Amino acid sequence: MIAQKDVQAILKKYNQKNIHIGVIGGHSALDVCRGAKDLGFNTVVVCEKGRERTYAQYFKTRGNKGIVDEIILVDKFKDITSKEVVEKLQAFNTIFIHSRYFWVYCDFDEFENNFLVPLVGNRGLLKAEERDQPNNQYDLLQKAGIRIPKQFSNPKDIDRLVIVKAAEKQRTYERAFFFADSQQSYKKNSEKLIKDGKITKEGLSKARIEEYIVGAQVNFNFFYSSLNDELELLGTDARRQTNIDGLIRLPANIQNEVSAFVSPTYIENGHIAVTVKESLLEKAFAAGEAFVKTVKKEYPPGIIGPFALQGAIIPGPPKEELIVFDVSLRIPGSPGTMFTPYSGYLYGENMSFGKRIAMEIKEAIKKNKLGEIIT
């Protein structure tokens, strides 16, 4: 595994007057690049062949337009850990911002052993987002005292409506969801998905079975500044998913008819901005602060920069409560968070994650503390 001293040694060789902010070409790349350019940094995007036009053409820097200064083209995203790509990134004095694409498309072992590029954030947290890893996000939430949905290790114990999260057969990085309210309905629904080729028996054996939370879903997107020891709420949003978003727009009687030949899927396609009433903000901050404290203890040096607690607000009684069912331990995939008012309350202007990250990098350079926010 790459040692922190090795990353710091690379950083010492950098020309900090010519830093490039780097990303993989997907997920939040444009958000990061726009923020970097706003703060005066150059940008470099690692693109996969066949998926590069967004960055190499449509948003390429030209004159006063565009935000992508350089691209590095690879056959597959996993090639980002190759010696050739790593050396190119180092030559650009690259500070890299990791995203979901690292654990979807890249090999963890290759990343841990070969990706010798300074990374904003705690690279030791990448695996913790995986639900089948020890001391993962669910463990961290429980250690932080944050309520999560009731978990079921055996289908025979199901005594309420549950949602089952199993890896898809073809796209193992996506999850196939189905509902059940008993061992019988679990067996019936899972067997249908296996027969239809949506999931495998092996994938089902590793599936997560958890209580389905009936509440208002909201993602709390935070930024923890390790430079200032301060937690900020940058924005709140909710997911847009296909094809469930289309199905729920149908009248109930039509939904029943359609369900005979269309199964609901929950593949994330985007996000929409939402707001929460102010009486809920202290609950959100309390959860965020508890989570930051726990991660600092379990995964030193802890959270650096962006993360999100994704969950739902239930009505009570006695009071409304936040239940968290997912965590993003890196930049969330929603540039729309800037269109909620919370970062504006702090800074007098609405701010994207990309810009807030670039601000942190710029402040670290100014204070000669860049080494404190990278691993």
Residue-level pLDDT at 33: 98
Residue-level pLDDT at 187: 96
> Is residue 260's pLDDT more than 80?
no
Residue-level pLDDT at 41: 98
- Count Cα atoms within 13 angstroms, Cβ side, for 95: 32
- The three-state DSSP-derived secondary structure of 336-373 is HHHHCCHHHHHHCCCCCHHHHHHHHHHHHHHCCCHHHC
As a whole number of angstroms, the distance between CA 322 and CA 160 comes to: 19
Q: Are 95 and 20 part of one and the same domain? A: yes
Mean pLDDT lowest among 69-73, 197-201, 264-268, 364-368: 264-268
Residue-level pLDDT at 55: 98
* Residue 148 contacts residue 156 (beta carbons within 8 Å): no
In which residue are the tokens 């860049």 written?
A: 370
Laid out side by side, the sheet with 20-24 consists of: 70-74, 42-48, 20-24, 94-97, 119-120
Domain with 180 in it: what CATH number? 3.30.1490
Q: Are 249 and 332 part of one and the same domain? A: yes
Q: What's the domain range around 48?
A: 4-120+363-372
> Is residue 267's pLDDT more than 80?
no
The SS3 of residue 48 is strand
Tens of pLDDT, residues 169-217: 887 777 788 999 999 999 999 999 999 898 999 999 989 999 999 999 9
Q: Are 142 and 262 part of one and the same domain? A: yes
Residue-level pLDDT at 270: 86
Is 258 part of any domain?
yes
Confidence of residue 220 (pLDDT cuts 50, 70, 90): very high
How many domains are contained in the chain? Answer: 3
The mean predicted confidence, pLDDT, of the chain is 93
Tens of pLDDT, residues 14-62: 999 999 999 999 989 999 999 999 999 999 999 999 999 999 999 999 9
Q: Are 277 and 368 part of one and the same domain? A: no
Residue-level pLDDT at 264: 76
Q: To the nearest 10°, the Cα dihedral for 9, 86, 333, 25?
A: 150
